């Protein structure tokens, strides 16, 4: 089966391409680096020729509200149009757990817009909602840093290893379209402030983690369950303490 992975040279995309290839599929990594640009449409018809499935794990280079909205809307429209022309039978997209529960975040608003375009398209689809990746723990801490302090809300947090996100997306992509969503999350729930306090201590990072119920997460305040699945979810097995990249994630 030919499966085109948009964003296939990135963190999740490269893992996904490798996993699909190991299972005998023709996995094509499509990104500006390989001559495929979903914003301009360059290379899309050639990349999608003969494809059964397209998996979109691309991400905006900018998280500024207007820029990220423009990226996901333009990219998704172009991609869906190219898929329709190529006769693709399954569109898979990676999104974020809690998109609909954090409308104050420009990034989450953009993901909601992306999902609506997919749902309104005639192409059968599956949307995988994942919690925050272990690989992004450092960048989340940096985004919450104010001077020498890291402000974190005492809300639920259930991060997952990137390898397990790729595995979940891969399984969905070779299955029957869900025409709906599935949530994937890590095996452990933490309090966000406590998790980051322990993580920074483990890195030997001198910044102080301050518990702040009003701390913003990429532009919006969090409620207790904003970032974790509600109801049924596919749960990973790798614990953060056992993740090989845990120490390196704190490197400067």
**Does the structure show a pLDDT above 90 at 219?**
no
**CB contact at 8 A, 140 and 89:** no
Q: What does the pLDDT look like over 69-122, one tens digit per residue?
A: 999 999 999 999 999 999 999 999 999 999 999 888 999 999 999 999 999 999
Domain edges within the chain: 2-250
143-151 — which CB contacts under 8 Å span 24+ positions? Answer: 143/218, 144/196, 144/215, 144/216, 144/217, 145/207, 148/206, 148/207, 148/208, 149/207, 149/208, 149/209, 149/210, 150/196, 150/200, 150/207, 150/208, 150/209, 150/210, 151/210, 151/212, 151/215
- Average pLDDT (27-37) is 96
Written out in words, the top-level CATH class of the domain with range 2-250 is: alpha beta
Q: Tens digits of per-residue pLDDT, 157-174?
A: 999 999 999 999 999 999
- Predicted structure pTM score: 0.94
């Amino acid at each position: 089966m030919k499966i085109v992975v948009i964003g296939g040279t990135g963190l999740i995309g490269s893992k996904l391409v490798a996993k699909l290839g190991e299972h005998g599929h023709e996995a094509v990594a499509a990104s500006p680096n390989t001559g495929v640009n979903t914003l301009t449409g360059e290379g899309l018809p050639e990349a999608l020729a003969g494809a059964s499935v397209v998996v979109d794990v691309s991400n905006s280079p900018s998280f500024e509200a207007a820029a990220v909205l423009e990226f996901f809307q333009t990219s998704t429209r172009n991609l869906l149009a190219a898929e329709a022309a190529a006769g693709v039978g399954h569109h898979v997209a990676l999104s974020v757990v809690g998109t609909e529960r954090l409308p104050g975040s420009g990034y989450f608003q953009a993901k909601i817009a992306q999902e609506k375009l997919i749902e309104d398209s005639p192409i059968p689809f599956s949307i995988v909602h994942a919690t925050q990746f272990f690989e992004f723990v450092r960048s989340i801490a940096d985004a919450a840093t104010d001077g020498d302090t890291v402000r974190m809300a005492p809300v639920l947090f259930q991060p997952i290893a990137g390898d397990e996100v790729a595995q979940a997306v891969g399984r969905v992509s070779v299955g029957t379209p869900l025409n709906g969503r599935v949530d994937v999350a890590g095996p452990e729930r933490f309090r966000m402030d406590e998790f980051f306090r322990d993580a920074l201590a483990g890195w030997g990072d001198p910044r102080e983690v301050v518990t702040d119920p009003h701390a913003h997460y990429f532009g919006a305040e969090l409620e207790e369950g904003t970032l974790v699945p509600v109801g049924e979810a596919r749960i990973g097995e790798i614990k953060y303490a056992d993740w090989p990249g845990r120490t390196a994630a704190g490197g400067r």
